[in-house]
Amino acid sequence: MTKIIGLTGGIGSGKTTIANYFESFGIPVYIADDEARKIMQSSEIIVAIKNVFGDAVFENELLNREKLAKIVFNDPEKLEKLNKIVHPAVKKHFDQWLIQHKKVSYIIYEAAILFESGGYKNCDLIITVTAPVESRIQRVVERDKTTRELVLKRINAQWTDEQRISKSDFIIENTAIETAKLQVVKILKILKIKQKVL
């Protein structure tokens, strides 16, 4: 049976870069945030979002993710409502994807809110990617063309590194990409041994 290796980390920690590096070794990787973005464009999810958040988060019938983000990251209750719409749809999509990869020993499931969503319960092992908060803020401001204030709100809406680390099997410190890659190689060697006992 295919084992699920959860990969998580706070916004801007560089977990997607790490996920892509795992993928370069031929390991199937599921990026939950990317799939969620696609799923949020489906008619079924659009209707559900409109029912909860109204027309204010839409422009010309298209979902404005920035407007939605401003609302949910300022209101934990609304964030929870959005998660209840999106998470079950992502879970369903992932289950179908997993069936397509049932012949491999393990896959990487990358999710920013692996713990907050409860997704970690379905994982056999968990890897957390960490990075200094200032580095994370700078990365996200540049990547998303957003403000420091909004990034901090998103960071504060997630678990802390300490909380994630306490429930993780492996930690990758992503202060420099080359040393982070060496940590990936080390984990892959351990996983090869664990395959025999998992």
Annotated binding residue at 166? no
134 CB burial (10 A radius; 0-12, 13-18, 19+) = exposed
Annotated binding residue at 12? yes
Annotated binding residue at 192? no
Annotated binding residue at 179? no
Annotated binding residue at 13? yes
Annotated binding residue at 147? no
> Which residues face 7 on adjacent strands?
110, 127
Measure CA 69 to chain center.
16
- Annotated binding residues, written as ranges, equal 12-17
The annotated binding site for ATP is made up of 12-17
